[in-house]
Amino acid sequence: MNLIVKNDYEEMSEYTAKILYDILITNEPLNIALTGGKTPIRAYEILAEMLKNKKIVNKKIYNFDEIEYKNSEIKFGATKNELRQIILDKIDLSQSSFIHLNTKNYEQWNDIVKSNGGLDIIFIGLGADGHFCGNLSGEVEFGSKIRLIKIPQN
């Protein structure tokens, strides 16, 4: 693992967008997990601009940190909707696919990922409380299987 330190958020976002761009424009079939949250927003904005008029081919894009809306008519959860607004609806994924995690398929999720060849690239952010990729602090141990975590209502 290499630790890369940048001077500020903008420089980090530009660097990250370039890495993701180089990955996404190849014709190589890849399975890529993208994250939501605040950390990657600027990188996604830059990436969307870089990918204008480019087709993304042979990619399977995964989302692992979905938060569904309870009793809602909204088709996707908070994370997928956020990703759609920031990046997915702004790029041409017509020759690729988005594999959507939800409460209906989470028990088969490990098998779904495995049947597609596993993951090649995982892009995650780090939350202010130390959580990453939907792994809630104090709820998930390293190496644990995917599971549904019920959030208490206030």
What does the block give as tokens for 136?
């809630």
* Structure tokens belonging to residue 107: 């028990």
Residue 67: name the closest of 102, 105, 107, 109 by CA: 102
Annotated catalytic residues are 65, 129, 131
Q: How far is Cα 62 from Cα 145, in angstroms, rounded to an integer?
A: 17
Q: Kindly give the residue spans of alpha helices, DSSP state H, lying in 28-128.
A: 41-50, 78-86, 109-115
**What is the rounded end-to-end Cα distance, in angstroms, of the chain?**
40
